[in-house]
Amino acid sequence: MASPDKQLANPVSTSEQRRVLEGLDRAALAAHQLQRLNKLLAAILPENQFYAHKLACCPQQLESLEQLTDLPRTTKAELVGEGTSHTLPANLTWPLTAYSRYHQTSGTQGRPLSVYDTASDWQWWLDCWHYVMDAADVGPEDRALLAFSFGPHIGFWSAHDVLVARGTLIVPAGGMDTLARLDLLERTQATVLFCTPTYALHLAEVAAKHSINLAHTAVCKVVVAGEPGGSIPATRGRIEEAWEARVTDHCGATEVGPWGYGDAAGVGLHVLESEFLAEFLSVETGQPAAEGELAELVLTSLGRVGMPVLRYRTGDLVRPSWAGTGTSRFVHLPGGVLGRADDMLIVRGVNIFPSSLEQILRSFPEVVEYRISVRKAGALDELVVEVEDRLQEPARIAAEMQLRLGLKVDVRLAPAMSLPRFEGKGERWIDLRKAK
Protein backbone atom coordinates (compact mmCIF):
# COMPACT_ATOMS: atom_id res chain seq x y z
CA MET A 1 0.00 0.00 0.00
CA ALA A 2 1.41 3.40 -0.95
CA SER A 3 1.01 6.08 1.68
CA PRO A 4 -1.25 8.98 0.71
CA ASP A 5 0.75 11.47 2.76
CA LYS A 6 1.99 13.36 -0.29
CA GLN A 7 -1.09 15.51 0.09
CA LEU A 8 0.49 16.93 3.26
CA ALA A 9 3.98 17.54 1.92
CA ASN A 10 4.91 21.13 1.17
CA PRO A 11 6.93 22.01 -1.91
CA VAL A 12 10.65 22.19 -1.17
CA SER A 13 11.17 25.60 0.42
CA THR A 14 13.55 28.22 -0.88
CA SER A 15 15.85 30.31 1.28
CA GLU A 16 13.58 33.31 0.71
CA GLN A 17 10.50 31.38 1.84
CA ARG A 18 12.36 30.24 4.94
CA ARG A 19 13.33 33.83 5.78
CA VAL A 20 9.69 34.91 5.44
CA LEU A 21 8.54 32.20 7.85
CA GLU A 22 11.28 33.11 10.34
CA GLY A 23 10.07 36.71 10.31
CA LEU A 24 6.37 36.05 10.98
CA ASP A 25 4.85 37.73 14.01
CA ARG A 26 3.32 35.49 16.67
CA ALA A 27 -0.26 35.82 15.36
CA ALA A 28 0.68 34.99 11.75
CA LEU A 29 2.87 32.12 12.92
CA ALA A 30 0.03 30.70 15.03
CA ALA A 31 -2.29 30.78 12.01
CA HIS A 32 0.33 28.95 9.93
CA GLN A 33 0.81 26.33 12.66
CA LEU A 34 -2.92 25.77 13.13
CA GLN A 35 -3.40 25.18 9.42
CA ARG A 36 -0.49 22.69 9.38
CA LEU A 37 -1.77 20.91 12.49
CA ASN A 38 -5.28 20.46 11.11
CA LYS A 39 -3.87 19.09 7.84
CA LEU A 40 -1.82 16.62 9.85
CA LEU A 41 -4.81 15.49 11.91
CA ALA A 42 -6.89 15.02 8.76
CA ALA A 43 -4.09 12.95 7.19
CA ILE A 44 -3.46 10.58 10.11
CA LEU A 45 -6.99 10.00 11.39
CA PRO A 46 -8.44 7.41 11.51
CA GLU A 47 -5.63 5.41 9.79
CA ASN A 48 -3.17 5.83 12.66
CA GLN A 49 -4.59 3.48 15.27
CA PHE A 50 -2.40 4.81 18.07
CA TYR A 51 -3.71 8.36 17.73
CA ALA A 52 -7.20 7.30 16.72
CA HIS A 53 -7.44 5.70 20.15
CA LYS A 54 -5.71 8.51 22.05
CA LEU A 55 -7.80 11.23 20.37
CA ALA A 56 -11.13 9.38 20.38
CA CYS A 57 -12.69 11.89 22.78
CA CYS A 58 -10.85 14.94 21.44
CA PRO A 59 -11.65 17.44 18.68
CA GLN A 60 -10.49 16.12 15.30
CA GLN A 61 -9.96 19.66 13.97
CA LEU A 62 -8.96 22.62 16.13
CA GLU A 63 -10.42 26.11 15.89
CA SER A 64 -7.42 27.68 17.65
CA LEU A 65 -4.12 26.59 19.14
CA GLU A 66 -5.60 27.15 22.60
CA GLN A 67 -7.41 23.83 22.04
CA LEU A 68 -4.09 22.01 21.76
CA THR A 69 -4.22 21.32 25.51
CA ASP A 70 -7.38 19.25 24.87
CA LEU A 71 -5.15 16.64 23.22
CA PRO A 72 -3.23 14.19 25.44
CA ARG A 73 0.54 14.28 25.60
CA THR A 74 2.71 11.50 24.18
CA THR A 75 5.67 9.79 25.86
CA LYS A 76 8.51 7.71 24.50
CA ALA A 77 7.44 4.81 26.71
CA GLU A 78 4.16 4.69 24.78
CA LEU A 79 5.92 4.62 21.42
CA VAL A 80 8.40 1.93 22.46
CA GLY A 81 5.67 -0.13 24.09
CA GLU A 82 7.36 -0.57 27.45
CA GLY A 83 6.14 -3.67 29.22
CA THR A 84 5.21 -5.32 25.91
CA SER A 85 7.00 -7.45 23.32
CA HIS A 86 6.25 -4.99 20.50
CA THR A 87 9.14 -4.41 18.10
CA LEU A 88 7.39 -1.88 15.86
CA PRO A 89 6.74 1.66 17.12
CA ALA A 90 3.16 2.15 18.26
CA ASN A 91 2.52 5.29 16.19
CA LEU A 92 3.02 3.99 12.64
CA THR A 93 0.29 5.23 10.30
CA TRP A 94 0.75 2.85 7.35
CA PRO A 95 1.81 -0.77 6.67
CA LEU A 96 5.60 -1.21 6.46
CA THR A 97 5.49 -1.41 2.67
CA ALA A 98 4.82 2.36 2.62
CA TYR A 99 8.15 3.21 4.28
CA SER A 100 11.56 3.65 2.68
CA ARG A 101 13.81 4.66 5.61
CA TYR A 102 14.71 2.89 8.85
CA HIS A 103 16.62 4.39 11.78
CA GLN A 104 16.61 4.00 15.55
CA THR A 105 17.22 6.01 18.69
CA SER A 106 20.43 5.59 20.65
CA GLY A 107 18.79 3.77 23.55
CA THR A 108 20.58 5.91 26.14
CA GLN A 109 17.25 6.54 27.88
CA GLY A 110 15.95 2.96 27.65
CA ARG A 111 15.11 0.48 24.90
CA PRO A 112 15.98 1.80 21.40
CA LEU A 113 12.98 2.96 19.39
CA SER A 114 12.75 1.84 15.76
CA VAL A 115 11.80 4.73 13.48
CA TYR A 116 10.37 4.56 9.95
CA ASP A 117 9.92 7.34 7.38
CA THR A 118 8.10 7.50 4.07
CA ALA A 119 9.65 9.31 1.10
CA SER A 120 7.50 12.37 1.83
CA ASP A 121 8.45 12.36 5.51
CA TRP A 122 12.11 12.15 4.55
CA GLN A 123 11.73 15.18 2.32
CA TRP A 124 10.24 16.99 5.31
CA TRP A 125 13.34 16.09 7.32
CA LEU A 126 15.50 17.69 4.64
CA ASP A 127 13.29 20.79 4.52
CA CYS A 128 13.88 21.21 8.25
CA TRP A 129 17.63 20.67 7.87
CA HIS A 130 17.84 23.51 5.34
CA TYR A 131 17.33 25.94 8.24
CA VAL A 132 20.44 24.50 9.90
CA MET A 133 22.42 24.84 6.69
CA ASP A 134 21.20 28.41 6.19
CA ALA A 135 22.36 29.27 9.72
CA ALA A 136 25.76 27.68 9.04
CA ASP A 137 26.00 29.30 5.58
CA VAL A 138 26.77 25.97 3.90
CA GLY A 139 26.41 25.99 0.12
CA PRO A 140 27.60 24.42 -3.15
CA GLU A 141 31.01 26.06 -2.85
CA ASP A 142 31.74 24.06 0.34
CA ARG A 143 33.34 20.67 0.91
CA ALA A 144 31.85 18.92 3.93
CA LEU A 145 33.57 16.16 5.91
CA LEU A 146 31.09 14.01 7.85
CA ALA A 147 32.96 12.49 10.79
CA PHE A 148 30.31 9.87 11.58
CA SER A 149 30.21 6.09 11.63
CA PHE A 150 27.03 6.03 9.47
CA GLY A 151 25.17 3.56 11.63
CA PRO A 152 21.38 3.57 12.05
CA HIS A 153 21.29 6.99 13.75
CA ILE A 154 19.20 9.39 11.70
CA GLY A 155 21.21 12.59 12.04
CA PHE A 156 24.10 11.27 9.96
CA TRP A 157 21.91 10.32 7.02
CA SER A 158 19.70 13.41 7.08
CA ALA A 159 22.77 15.67 7.12
CA HIS A 160 24.23 13.73 4.18
CA ASP A 161 21.07 13.99 2.09
CA VAL A 162 20.47 17.70 2.68
CA LEU A 163 24.07 18.38 1.62
CA VAL A 164 23.38 16.45 -1.59
CA ALA A 165 20.29 18.63 -2.13
CA ARG A 166 22.36 21.82 -1.65
CA GLY A 167 25.04 20.72 -4.09
CA THR A 168 27.78 20.52 -1.47
CA LEU A 169 30.70 18.17 -2.09
CA ILE A 170 30.51 15.45 0.58
CA VAL A 171 33.53 13.70 2.09
CA PRO A 172 32.28 10.64 4.04
CA ALA A 173 34.61 9.58 6.84
CA GLY A 174 32.90 6.51 8.25
CA GLY A 175 34.97 3.48 9.22
CA MET A 176 38.12 5.54 9.88
CA ASP A 177 40.10 6.28 12.99
CA THR A 178 40.67 9.86 14.09
CA LEU A 179 44.11 10.29 12.55
CA ALA A 180 42.89 8.97 9.19
CA ARG A 181 40.02 11.43 9.30
CA LEU A 182 42.40 14.31 9.94
CA ASP A 183 44.50 13.21 6.97
CA LEU A 184 41.37 13.00 4.78
CA LEU A 185 40.29 16.45 5.95
CA GLU A 186 43.63 17.94 4.92
CA ARG A 187 43.81 16.12 1.56
CA THR A 188 40.28 17.10 0.49
CA GLN A 189 40.60 20.67 1.82
CA ALA A 190 37.20 20.32 3.53
CA THR A 191 35.69 23.64 4.55
CA VAL A 192 32.94 22.29 6.83
CA LEU A 193 33.18 19.69 9.60
CA PHE A 194 30.09 17.81 10.82
CA CYS A 195 30.40 15.94 14.13
CA THR A 196 29.49 16.00 17.82
CA PRO A 197 31.02 18.72 20.04
CA THR A 198 32.90 15.98 21.89
CA TYR A 199 34.45 14.68 18.69
CA ALA A 200 35.40 18.15 17.44
CA LEU A 201 37.48 18.54 20.62
CA HIS A 202 38.89 15.02 20.33
CA LEU A 203 39.97 15.70 16.75
CA ALA A 204 41.75 18.79 18.02
CA GLU A 205 43.43 16.78 20.79
CA VAL A 206 44.73 14.17 18.33
CA ALA A 207 45.81 16.88 15.88
CA ALA A 208 47.88 18.58 18.59
CA LYS A 209 49.46 15.25 19.58
CA HIS A 210 50.59 14.71 15.97
CA SER A 211 51.65 18.34 15.36
CA ILE A 212 48.81 19.02 12.91
CA ASN A 213 47.96 22.72 12.85
CA LEU A 214 44.20 22.94 12.41
CA ALA A 215 44.47 26.65 11.69
CA HIS A 216 46.23 25.74 8.44
CA THR A 217 43.33 23.56 7.24
CA ALA A 218 40.52 24.93 5.09
CA VAL A 219 37.85 24.30 7.76
CA CYS A 220 36.02 27.53 8.55
CA LYS A 221 32.65 26.12 9.66
CA VAL A 222 31.83 23.41 12.21
CA VAL A 223 28.27 22.07 12.53
CA VAL A 224 27.69 20.13 15.75
CA ALA A 225 24.80 18.07 17.09
CA GLY A 226 24.02 15.19 19.42
CA GLU A 227 25.03 17.00 22.63
CA PRO A 228 24.38 20.39 24.26
CA GLY A 229 28.02 21.51 23.81
CA GLY A 230 27.45 23.72 20.77
CA SER A 231 25.40 26.13 22.89
CA ILE A 232 27.63 25.97 25.98
CA PRO A 233 29.86 29.07 25.69
CA ALA A 234 33.03 27.48 27.10
CA THR A 235 32.74 24.35 24.93
CA ARG A 236 31.82 26.35 21.85
CA GLY A 237 34.73 28.70 22.49
CA ARG A 238 37.22 25.86 22.77
CA ILE A 239 36.04 24.37 19.48
CA GLU A 240 36.17 27.72 17.68
CA GLU A 241 39.63 28.47 19.08
CA ALA A 242 41.02 25.05 18.18
CA TRP A 243 39.67 25.11 14.63
CA GLU A 244 39.61 28.89 14.03
CA ALA A 245 36.13 28.27 12.65
CA ARG A 246 32.55 29.32 13.41
CA VAL A 247 30.39 26.76 15.24
CA THR A 248 26.70 26.26 14.42
CA ASP A 249 24.63 24.19 16.83
CA HIS A 250 21.77 21.90 15.85
CA CYS A 251 19.30 19.86 17.88
CA GLY A 252 16.85 17.14 16.95
CA ALA A 253 15.43 13.81 18.03
CA THR A 254 14.96 10.70 15.93
CA GLU A 255 11.35 10.28 17.00
CA VAL A 256 10.51 13.99 16.58
CA GLY A 257 12.64 15.54 13.82
CA PRO A 258 15.35 18.22 13.46
CA TRP A 259 13.67 20.86 15.59
CA GLY A 260 16.39 23.37 16.51
CA TYR A 261 19.20 25.37 14.93
CA GLY A 262 21.81 27.76 16.26
CA ASP A 263 21.29 31.49 16.39
CA ALA A 264 23.61 33.98 14.74
CA ALA A 265 25.19 35.02 18.03
CA GLY A 266 25.97 31.45 19.06
CA VAL A 267 24.28 31.75 22.44
CA GLY A 268 21.43 29.29 22.00
CA LEU A 269 18.94 27.63 19.68
CA HIS A 270 15.82 28.64 17.79
CA VAL A 271 12.94 26.16 17.71
CA LEU A 272 11.88 25.66 14.09
CA GLU A 273 8.33 26.82 14.73
CA SER A 274 7.16 26.69 11.12
CA GLU A 275 7.52 22.89 11.33
CA PHE A 276 7.03 22.23 15.05
CA LEU A 277 4.59 23.35 17.72
CA ALA A 278 6.55 24.00 20.89
CA GLU A 279 5.13 24.00 24.40
CA PHE A 280 7.04 24.62 27.60
CA LEU A 281 5.99 23.00 30.88
CA SER A 282 7.30 24.71 33.99
CA VAL A 283 9.47 22.31 36.01
CA GLU A 284 8.16 23.91 39.18
CA THR A 285 4.41 24.04 38.47
CA GLY A 286 3.75 21.82 35.42
CA GLN A 287 1.88 24.75 33.87
CA PRO A 288 2.91 26.76 30.77
CA ALA A 289 6.25 28.37 31.52
CA ALA A 290 6.86 32.10 31.60
CA GLU A 291 9.67 33.95 29.84
CA GLY A 292 13.01 32.50 30.94
CA GLU A 293 11.53 29.91 33.29
CA LEU A 294 13.07 26.44 33.48
CA ALA A 295 10.76 24.16 31.50
CA GLU A 296 10.43 20.80 29.77
CA LEU A 297 10.15 21.08 25.99
CA VAL A 298 7.04 19.46 24.46
CA LEU A 299 6.92 19.20 20.65
CA THR A 300 4.42 18.40 17.92
CA SER A 301 5.90 17.59 14.51
CA LEU A 302 3.75 19.25 11.84
CA GLY A 303 5.04 17.53 8.70
CA ARG A 304 5.65 13.88 9.57
CA VAL A 305 2.66 11.71 8.71
CA GLY A 306 4.04 8.17 8.66
CA MET A 307 5.18 8.30 12.29
CA PRO A 308 3.61 11.39 13.84
CA VAL A 309 4.10 12.67 17.37
CA LEU A 310 1.59 15.01 19.02
CA ARG A 311 2.53 16.89 22.19
CA TYR A 312 5.61 14.72 22.71
CA ARG A 313 7.41 15.08 26.04
CA THR A 314 11.06 15.31 24.97
CA GLY A 315 12.48 15.38 28.50
CA ASP A 316 14.76 18.26 27.42
CA LEU A 317 15.00 21.19 29.83
CA VAL A 318 15.21 24.70 28.39
CA ARG A 319 14.46 28.34 29.19
CA PRO A 320 12.21 29.83 26.47
CA SER A 321 12.40 33.43 25.33
CA TRP A 322 9.98 35.09 22.95
CA ALA A 323 11.85 38.41 22.93
CA GLY A 324 13.36 37.70 19.49
CA THR A 325 17.02 37.65 18.45
CA GLY A 326 18.51 38.53 15.08
CA THR A 327 16.44 37.95 11.98
CA SER A 328 14.51 34.96 13.36
CA ARG A 329 11.39 35.54 15.45
CA PHE A 330 11.03 31.87 16.33
CA VAL A 331 11.16 31.15 20.06
CA HIS A 332 14.72 31.28 21.36
CA LEU A 333 16.36 28.96 23.89
CA PRO A 334 19.32 30.77 25.52
CA GLY A 335 21.97 28.19 26.29
CA GLY A 336 20.21 25.60 24.14
CA VAL A 337 19.21 22.37 25.87
CA LEU A 338 20.34 22.71 29.47
CA GLY A 339 19.93 19.05 30.34
CA ARG A 340 17.33 16.34 30.66
CA ALA A 341 14.64 16.12 33.30
CA ASP A 342 15.99 12.78 34.52
CA ASP A 343 19.57 14.15 34.67
CA MET A 344 18.81 17.11 36.93
CA LEU A 345 20.48 16.87 40.34
CA ILE A 346 19.52 18.56 43.54
CA VAL A 347 22.69 18.66 45.63
CA ARG A 348 22.16 20.27 49.02
CA GLY A 349 19.28 22.31 47.62
CA VAL A 350 21.07 23.43 44.42
CA ASN A 351 19.76 22.41 40.98
CA ILE A 352 22.64 21.18 38.80
CA PHE A 353 22.69 20.11 35.15
CA PRO A 354 25.47 18.43 33.15
CA SER A 355 25.71 21.56 30.99
CA SER A 356 26.41 23.74 34.05
CA LEU A 357 29.33 21.53 35.04
CA GLU A 358 30.62 21.35 31.46
CA GLN A 359 30.62 25.15 31.21
CA ILE A 360 32.87 25.34 34.27
CA LEU A 361 35.17 22.47 33.30
CA ARG A 362 35.65 23.64 29.70
CA SER A 363 36.60 27.11 30.97
CA PHE A 364 39.88 25.54 32.16
CA PRO A 365 42.02 25.08 29.01
CA GLU A 366 44.23 22.58 30.85
CA VAL A 367 41.31 20.17 31.43
CA VAL A 368 41.54 17.70 28.56
CA GLU A 369 38.75 15.30 29.53
CA TYR A 370 36.38 14.69 32.43
CA ARG A 371 33.79 12.31 33.87
CA ILE A 372 31.03 12.91 36.42
CA SER A 373 29.64 10.14 38.62
CA VAL A 374 26.35 10.67 40.43
CA ARG A 375 25.27 8.54 43.39
CA LYS A 376 22.92 8.59 46.34
CA ALA A 377 24.14 9.44 49.83
CA GLY A 378 21.10 8.64 51.90
CA ALA A 379 18.26 10.78 50.57
CA LEU A 380 20.63 13.23 48.84
CA ASP A 381 22.45 13.23 45.49
CA GLU A 382 26.21 13.60 45.46
CA LEU A 383 28.69 13.80 42.61
CA VAL A 384 32.36 13.08 41.97
CA VAL A 385 34.16 14.85 39.11
CA GLU A 386 37.25 13.20 37.61
CA VAL A 387 39.50 15.38 35.44
CA GLU A 388 42.53 14.89 33.23
CA ASP A 389 44.27 18.14 34.13
CA ARG A 390 47.60 19.13 32.60
CA LEU A 391 48.35 21.28 35.66
CA GLN A 392 47.36 18.42 38.03
CA GLU A 393 45.69 20.91 40.35
CA PRO A 394 42.08 19.75 40.86
CA ALA A 395 41.72 21.98 43.93
CA ARG A 396 41.47 25.12 41.77
CA ILE A 397 38.62 23.50 39.78
CA ALA A 398 36.81 22.54 42.99
CA ALA A 399 37.18 26.12 44.22
CA GLU A 400 35.66 27.49 41.00
CA MET A 401 32.74 25.08 41.27
CA GLN A 402 32.12 26.14 44.85
CA LEU A 403 32.21 29.78 43.77
CA ARG A 404 29.95 29.31 40.72
CA LEU A 405 27.55 26.69 42.09
CA GLY A 406 27.56 27.54 45.76
CA LEU A 407 28.47 24.04 46.95
CA LYS A 408 31.49 21.87 47.56
CA VAL A 409 32.23 19.32 44.82
CA ASP A 410 34.64 16.38 45.07
CA VAL A 411 37.07 16.92 42.14
CA ARG A 412 39.64 14.16 41.63
CA LEU A 413 42.66 13.91 39.35
CA ALA A 414 42.58 11.17 36.69
CA PRO A 415 45.77 9.97 34.93
CA ALA A 416 46.38 11.32 31.43
CA MET A 417 44.50 9.39 28.71
CA SER A 418 42.69 7.25 31.33
CA LEU A 419 39.20 8.59 30.65
CA PRO A 420 37.29 7.40 27.56
CA ARG A 421 37.12 9.36 24.29
CA PHE A 422 34.01 9.41 22.14
CA GLU A 423 33.18 9.67 18.45
CA GLY A 424 29.44 10.07 19.01
CA LYS A 425 27.64 11.38 22.06
CA GLY A 426 29.97 11.71 25.00
CA GLU A 427 29.00 9.51 27.95
CA ARG A 428 30.61 11.55 30.70
CA TRP A 429 27.59 11.55 33.02
CA ILE A 430 27.50 8.24 34.93
CA ASP A 431 24.28 7.94 36.95
CA LEU A 432 24.69 5.41 39.78
CA ARG A 433 21.57 6.47 41.65
CA LYS A 434 19.52 3.58 40.25
CA ALA A 435 22.28 0.98 40.49
CA LYS A 436 21.37 -2.07 42.53
Lowest-confidence region among 1-15, 238-252, 385-399, 422-436: 1-15
Span 120-176, pLDDT tens digits: 999 999 999 999 999 999 999 999 999 988 788 898 899 999 999 999 999 999 889
| CB atoms closer than 10 angstroms to residue 26 | 12
Alpha helices (runs of H) in 348-393, residue ranges in sequence order: 354-362
| Burial of 258 (C-beta count, 10 Å sphere; 0-12/13-18/19+) | buried
Please list, in sequence order, all residues whose beta carbon lies within 8 angstroms of the beta carbon of residue 60, skipping any fewer than 6 positions away: 41, 42, 45
State the Cα angle at 200 between 162 and 110, rounded to 5°.
75
Q: What is the pLDDT of residue 230?
A: 87
Average pLDDT, stretch 240-248? 95
pTM as predicted: 0.85
Secondary structure (3-state) at 178: helix
Question: What are the residue boundaries of the structural domains of the chain, listed by start?
Answer: 1-338, 344-431
Residue-averaged pLDDT of the chain: 89
Among the listed residues 106, 110, 72, 113, the one whose alpha carbon sits nearest the alpha carbon of residue 90: 113
Query: Number of helices and strands (H, E) in the chain?
Result: 11, 20
pLDDT band of residue 9 (cuts 50, 70, 90) is low
* 344-431 has CATH 3.30.300.30 classification: yes
Tally of CB atoms within 10 A around 102: 12
Query: Does the bond joining 172 to the residue before it have cis omega, within 30 degrees of 0?
Result: no
Which CATH class name applies to 1-338? alpha beta
List CB contacts of 119: < 8 A, sequence separation 6 or more: 100
pLDDT of residue 175: 86
pLDDT at 110 over 80: no
Residue 91 has pLDDT above 80, yes or no: yes
Mean pLDDT of 244-268: 91
For a pLDDT cut of 90, what percent of the chain falls above it?
Answer: 68
**Dihedrals φ, ψ of 22, to 5°?**
-65, -25
**Mean pLDDT throughout 214-240?**
91
DSSP class of residue 256 equals: T
